[in-house]
Amino acid sequence: MSQDYDAIIIGAGSVGVPTAYFLAKEGMKVLVIEKNASAGQGENKAAIGGVRATHSDPAKIKICQESLKIFSTWKENTGTDIGWKEGGYCFPIYREQDAAMMQAILPIQKRHELNIDWIGDDELAKVVPGINRNGLLGGTYSPEDGQVSPLMAIESFTHEARKLGVEFKFREGVQELAMEGNAVTGVKTNKGEYSAPAVLNAAGAKGTQICKMAGLNIPIVPDSHEAGITSPVKRFLDPLVVDIRPGPEGKTKNFYFGQVESGQIIFCYTPIDPIIGEDKRATSEFMPILARRLVDLIPRMKGLTIRRLWRGLYPMTPDGVPIVGKCKVDGFYLCIGMCGQGFMMGPGIGANLANLIVKDKPIMKQSTWDFMRLDRSFKTDDVERLA
């Protein structure tokens, strides 16, 4: 079979498009196949755009440090605004057990030279103006984390990738993988067949279906999350705020929100009972719950107008860490199970994957990269499942 491309990427989403961009920068001839009409129409457009390197898993830390570098310099390097705002992340803490959990992670984060610290309640009240101080113990604050617009970012990455020669085929779905022995050699879609020695599964919530085509069973379960955005108000809030307490109504776990560059408050939550499946119909069920949590936490939020609600999927792995890298099928690369952090990891993973595909090694240390390998133990880690 003749070789049409150096690499084929299945899925023009949070990780597929940046990976295409970095592969093309390495001189590869790249094809991206997307079943929707344009890039970012899967889960990318559902993300609220939080980007932080302050995780506890070493691979996620390294990847997001790389992503932060790319996002924060994108305008300088390409001339295009993607809504980057360096406002940090803040976890206000009201319960002793949460303080102990967050403080236990700090030494790991500091070992990775992350700019994060525990701050007292007075300082926290300056970082989050108007926060309810009743019972506030303090919290963690990482000023170098930030926010980006997922819609503006995917548009710009697609544009820059095209400039480097990446070909996009939209409204075309991959239906089968072409195999020769134990190697993937290309893809078959509803419109044609394309060959390449490297095929990347970046199909997001549909990643397990693509894996099945190569005989791989992958432990990923999509669950559904709702988010919303208000009308814009005068800028008053720098960080993205994560409240990790369960809601008093007994239905919600952590909820998180921030003020985007253009002034709107954007917010999201994790339900206590996961909404498993692919149903993305938005409901207004959570709106009164979140409105109350928001106003209880920052009373000055009262009076905001909610403009739009939506629902999207977290493709969840059992331990909250994605599955990325090579697998036992030659030429088949995985980049799936991005959970609730695929947008922030996209560029960092893309840069590393491009290196792996072209030079057979990621940019980061192999041992760190291997935290994301498919054949790991998948021990559940609740901290990694946070926003």
Ligand X SMILES: Cc1cc2nc3c(=O)[nH]c(=O)nc-3n(C[C@H](O)[C@H](O)[C@H](O)COP(=O)(O)OP(=O)(O)OC[C@H]3O[C@@H](n4cnc5c(N)ncnc54)[C@H](O)[C@@H]3O)c2cc1C
Only one of the segments 70-78, 133-141, 307-315, 357-365 lies at the binding site for ligand X (rule: CB under 6 A); that segment is 307-315
From 6, 8, 13, 257, residue interacting with ligand X (rule: CB under 6 A): 13
Residue 42 lies near ligand X (rule: CB under 6 A): yes
Smallest gap from residue 6 Cβ to ligand X (A):
19
Please identify which residue in the block is written with the tokens 């057990």: 97
The secondary element (H helix, E strand) that includes residue 338 is: none
Residue 12 lies near ligand X (rule: CB under 6 A): yes
Residue 20 lies near ligand X (rule: CB under 6 A): no
Residue 230 phi/psi, 5° resolution?
A: -100, 180
Please identify which residue in the block is written with the tokens 């190697």: 183
Cβ atoms of residues 353 and 364 within 8 Å: no
Smallest gap from residue 235 Cβ to ligand X (A):
19
Smallest gap from residue 96 Cβ to ligand X (A):
28
Return the C-alpha torsion angle 363, 367, 368, 369, nearest 10. 60
Measure the CA–CA gap between 378 and 354, rounded to whole angstroms: 25
Measure the CA–CA gap between 370 and 368, rounded to whole angstroms: 5
Residue 33 lies near ligand X (rule: CB under 6 A): yes
Cβ atoms of residues 253 and 271 within 8 Å: yes
Residue 184 lies near ligand X (rule: CB under 6 A): no
Cβ atoms of residues 207 and 13 within 8 Å: no
CA 271 to the chain's CA centroid:
18
Residue 47 lies near ligand X (rule: CB under 6 A): yes
Which parts of 202-231 interact with ligand X (CB under 6 A)? 202-206, 225, 227
Residue 15 lies near ligand X (rule: CB under 6 A): yes
Beta bridge partners of 141: 90, 117
Residue 44 lies near ligand X (rule: CB under 6 A): yes
Total binding residues toward ligand X, as defined by CB under 6 A: 40
Residue 350 lies near ligand X (rule: CB under 6 A): no
Only one of the segments 41-49, 88-96, 298-306, 350-358 lies at the binding site for ligand X (rule: CB under 6 A); that segment is 41-49
CA 359 to the chain's CA centroid:
25
| Interacting residues toward ligand X by CB under 6 A | 10-16, 33-36, 41-44, 46-50, 173-174, 202-206, 225, 227, 268, 312-314, 338-344
